[in-house]
Amino acid sequence: MKHRFLQQSSCALLFCAASFSTFASLQDEIQVYTDEINEPGEYGVEFHMNTTPKGVTSPSYSGEVVNHHATRLTAELSRGMTKTTDIGLYVPTVLNSNGQYDLAGLKMRFKWLPIQPEDTGGFFAGMNFEWGQVQQKYSESPRSGEIRNILGWRTTNWLFVVNPIFGFDASPGFSHVPSLEVATKINRKVSESLSIGWERYNDRGPYNKMLPLANQGLVNYVVLDYEGSDFDVNFGVGRGSTDVSDKWTVKAIVGYSFGK
């Protein structure tokens, strides 16, 4: 009965996401959200880095700083609130192709994971809510947010996750139609602490009128995940499959938890 209520609540929140607006975002993190969540009272620090050796060189709007030859560095601070919730603060920065280093803005998030797998594995589901303000040269709408749905299944050796993400622009004068991005992850353990896998990020455009495939953002990554006793690492190399996608991107996330 409890799970049925939570599933119904999740569906209701997903439906509400469709009433927001169209999304354009700074590439401050490249990550598929899984069942990872801080324990109550536990603190976490993650450092997100991604760089684009070869990317799209034409701005999509006047004044945009493109990803090509630039590097994004983001610090994420988080704290577990309850068994099913934690909160986080992102501090995104950008080192552009001219060597200029810039504080891009600030973002906040709230994660809710009401359905969690057992120690031996199983289904998990939840949501992550994000709200941020960044400089307009990194996002056409300086104020934006997203509702990221988290659906997955974990076994002893395998991990399957999909994140349907509804992004919305919250600045005045922008469209009220949310965009849809689908992030997918499949991982397999090759040792007790190391996994190898695939991540896919597909930006489909407005949720109610998908863009033609050639105009969608589509990047596939080969990834390695290390889960150590002191820290975790996610490393990946991605290649874009369409003309509107960056051709090559390298990303890494290093995480550390403490204070539980």
The CATH number of whichever domain residue 75 belongs to comes to: 2.40.160.40
Mean pLDDT, to the nearest integer, of 124-140? 96
Question: Alpha-carbon distance 196 to 189, whole Å?
Answer: 6
What pLDDT does 213 receive? 94
Token pair for residue 30? 């490249």
Domain of 52 in residue numbering reads as 2-258
Tell me if 111 sits within 8 A of 90, measured CB to CB: no
Tell me if 168 sits within 8 A of 144, measured CB to CB: yes
Q: How many domains does the chain have?
A: 1
The gap between the terminal CA atoms of the chain, to the nearest Å, is 31
DSSP state of 33: -
Which of 13-17, 50-54, 158-162, 205-209 shows the lowest mean pLDDT across its residues?
A: 13-17
**pLDDT digits over 169-225, tens only?**
999 998 878 999 999 999 999 999 999 999 999 999 999 999 999 999 999 999 999
| Residue type (1 letter), 156 | T
What pLDDT does 15 receive? 37
Cite the DSSP H helix spans in the chain.
2-17
Confidence of residue 40 (pLDDT cuts 50, 70, 90): very high
Tell me if 108 sits within 8 A of 89, measured CB to CB: yes
Q: What angle do CA 251, 232, 106 make, to 5 degrees?
A: 60
Predicted confidence (pLDDT) at residue 21 exceeds the cutoff of 50: no
What pLDDT does 252 receive? 98
Token pair for residue 197? 């896998």
| Mean pLDDT over each residue of the chain, to the nearest integer | 91
Beta bridge partners of 125: 115, 151
Mean pLDDT, to the nearest integer, of 112-118? 97
**Tokens 């369409």 belong to which residue?**
242
Query: What does residue 58 show for φ and ψ, rounded to 5 degrees?
Result: -95, 125
Token pair for residue 242? 């369409």
| Residue type (1 letter), 164 | P
- The total of other beta-carbon atoms located within 10 Å of residue 146's CB is 23
Residue closest to 138 by CA, chosen among 181, 175, 166, 100: 100
Give 43's contacts (C-beta < 8 A, 6+ positions apart).
77, 78, 79, 80, 257, 258, 259
Tell me if 139 sits within 8 A of 114, measured CB to CB: no
Which of 66-80, 164-178, 223-237 shows the lowest mean pLDDT across its residues?
A: 164-178
State the pTM of this model.
0.89
Question: Alpha-carbon distance 4 to 53, whole Å?
Answer: 46
Mean pLDDT, to the nearest integer, of 3-25? 43
Token pair for residue 120? 């031996």
Half-sphere exposure of 182 (CA within 13 A, CB side): 9
| Percent of the chain scoring above 70 in pLDDT | 90
What pLDDT does 14 receive? 40
What pLDDT does 50 receive? 98
